[in-house]
């Protein structure tokens, strides 16, 4: 066996080591459960119990982003697995699978095992991937599917790529854009444009056939095919200040996790394409085709978020960051191999990987990991605790108005009036205009849609709604560092609606 074969075997042996390192690092915060995860769990609980796709039993609503992820969690419940354990365990496994798929994508894209493995090392240490893996959210599932669609596209296995893209659209609706880049790749990669058009039409039928059952169900049961999350999280209005704020927000998220990657991508991209001006047509086509889907998608999705005025959070950008890493390593290696430093190409890639590891580890250890730990503690002492209190001290027919509804609804088993509009869509127009829970409670904007006996409100001080004569403060629970960079203590206060006829046991 020659040296090259031994090196390949050694590199392949490193892949499971990387995956295991990622798995154990991410599983270290298995208890981290965002409030949105509890929204999925509440929907899944009702689905398993025969109450349909609903947060409040008997009240169907399109209040989750991912129907596919909801069904995956519900399947765990059907198999008598605890819903939270099922969601978080499957999430962690899918995140680990995404690391494997990333390596396959990197090798398919770059065609070098050493560089592909170093790129995979960078991705496996991505702070946002580590943060959301095992959280029980749909994030890892979406990353797995977008990478699978990309790998099959690069391999010209377009049917499988479109199937993965359709499933992806059932996890993140905005990812419907990805199928257009698959179509673009078909045309770019085909000499016969008529055959390419025919193949694209056939694949469009397959894509539509996969999505159609859910879209029909959603329209019949909810009156819409657009999730409430897409509407409630997109404030109306599109001023310059909001666009600038959106760009700054997206840039900050990407810079925190992949600042070194972006610098490498931009600088090496400029150098490589300058060198390719004197290269062969085949070389230019190779890099154009390898860049088309990844860079096109990485640019289009943030633009969509800006146009939709979406408040972007870190997990949204995990649909983009894998492609920034992939193309950065493609351009870096290509630049070095076409320079006078060709014999130092691996050394250059190793140094670049080392810089990305330093950035990710410093940010993760100093900001992300402490933030995760603080959030987990805050959830248990505030929202989870409030949910249990409501279950023990209120009647089953009483309603609760809240903005953060997940844990409160899941643990209380009470009907929730959602001030954020996700499961009370009648309030979405007010939310999009900027109304917050205080205004909704003070002006009783919820009255046409639900009966409210209690209000759960978050503010920087306890009893912030005490000036409202119809609200009687009962108790407050502290929540320190509700966001990674919010180094402050917030308070969740529970109020009783004074005008309601309430049988209230003594608070403990």
Average model confidence (pLDDT) across the chain: 93
Instruction: Give the mean pLDDT of 190-207.
Output: 94
Distance CA 131, CA 143 (A): 13
* The pLDDT of residue 508: 36
Which tens digit of pLDDT belongs to each residue from 316-341? 999 999 999 999 999 999 999 999 88
Query: Domain coordinates of the chain in residue numbers?
Result: 30-377, 382-497
* The pLDDT of residue 501: 41
The yes-or-no verdict on residue 141 having pLDDT over 90 is: yes
- Indicate the pLDDT class of residue 313, thresholds 50, 70 and 90: very high
Structure tokens, 227: 């999730």
- Indicate the pLDDT class of residue 232, thresholds 50, 70 and 90: confident
Report the chain's C-alpha Rg in angstroms. Answer: 25
Q: H/E element holding 493?
A: strand 489-497
Residue 324, phi then psi, degrees to nearest 5: -65, -40
The model carries a pTM of 0.94
Q: Which of 157-161, 236-240, 368-372, 410-414 has the lowest mean pLDDT?
A: 236-240
* The pLDDT of residue 235: 74
- Indicate the pLDDT class of residue 191, thresholds 50, 70 and 90: confident
Please name the residue that has the structure tokens 């996969």: 210
Question: Between β-strands 415-418 and 489-497, what pairing exists: parallel, antiparallel or unpaired?
Answer: unpaired
List the Cα angle 205/285/301 in 5-degree steps: 50
Question: Exposure of 314 by Cβ count < 10 A (0-12 exposed, 13-18 middle, 19+ buried)?
Answer: buried
Which one, of 172, 200, 204, 165, lies nearest residue 186 by Cα?
200
Structure tokens, 270: 């400029």
């Amino acid at each position: 066996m020659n040296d090259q074969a031994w090196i390949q075997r050694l590199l392949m042996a490193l892949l499971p080591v990387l995956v295991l390192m990622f798995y154990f690092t991410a599983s270290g915060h298995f208890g981290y459960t965002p409030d949105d995860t509890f929204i999925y769990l509440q929907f899944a609980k009702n689905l398993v119990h025969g109450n349909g796709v609903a947060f409040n039993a008997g009240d169907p609503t399109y209040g989750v982003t991912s129907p596919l992820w909801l069904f995956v969690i519900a399947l765990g419940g059907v198999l008598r697995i605890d819903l939270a354990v099922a969601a978080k365990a499957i999430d962690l496994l899918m995140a680990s699978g995404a690391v494997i798929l990333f390596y396959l994508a990197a090798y398919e894209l770059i065609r070098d095992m050493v560089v592909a493995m170093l790129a995979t090392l960078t991705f496996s240490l991505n702070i946002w991937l580590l943060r959301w893996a095992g959280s029980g959210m749909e994030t890892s599932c979406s990353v797995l599917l977008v990478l699978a669609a990309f790998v099959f596209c690069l391999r010209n296995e377009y049917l499988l790529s479109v199937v993965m893209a359709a499933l992806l659209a059932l996890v993140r609706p905005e990812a419907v854009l990805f199928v257009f880049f698959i179509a673009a790749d078909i045309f770019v990669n085909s000499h016969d444009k008529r055959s390419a058009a025919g193949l694209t039409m056939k694949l469009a039928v397959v894509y539509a056939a996969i999505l159609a059952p859910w879209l029909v169900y959603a329209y019949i049961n909810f009156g819409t095919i657009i999730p409430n999350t897409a509407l409630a999280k997109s404030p109306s209005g599109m001023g310059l200040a909001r666009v600038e704020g959106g760009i700054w927000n997206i840039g900050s998220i990407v810079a925190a996790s992949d600042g070194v990657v972006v610098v490498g991508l931009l600088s090496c991209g400029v150098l490589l394409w300058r060198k390719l001006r004197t290269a062969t047509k085949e070389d230019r086509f190779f890099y154009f085709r390898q860049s088309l889907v990844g860079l096109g998608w990485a640019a289009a999705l943030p633009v969509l978020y800006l146009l939709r005025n979406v408040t972007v959070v870190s997990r949204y950008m995990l649909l983009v960051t894998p492609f920034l890493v992939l193309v950065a390593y493609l351009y870096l290696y290509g630049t070095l191999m076409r320079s006078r430093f060709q014999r130092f190409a691996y050394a250059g890639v190793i140094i670049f990987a080392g810089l990305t590891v330093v950035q990710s580890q410093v940010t993760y250890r100093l900001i992300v990991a402490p933030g995760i730990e603080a959030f987990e503690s805050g959830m248990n002492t505030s929202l989870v605790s409030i949910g249990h209190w409501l279950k023990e001290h209120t009647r089953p027919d009483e309603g609760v108005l809240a903005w953060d509804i997940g844990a409160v609804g899941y643990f209380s088993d009470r009907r929730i009036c959602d001030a954020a509009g996700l499961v009370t869509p009648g309030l979405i127009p007010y939310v999009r205009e900027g109304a917050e829970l205080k205004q909704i409670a003070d002006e009783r904007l919820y009255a046409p849609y639900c009966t409210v006996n209690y209000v759960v409100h978050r503010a920087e001080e306890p009893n912030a709604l005490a000036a409202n004569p119809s609200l009687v403060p009962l108790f407050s629970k502290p929540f320190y560092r509700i966001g990674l960079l919010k180094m402050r203590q917030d308070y969740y206060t529970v109020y009783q609606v004074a005008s309601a006829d309430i049988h209230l046991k003594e608070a403990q």
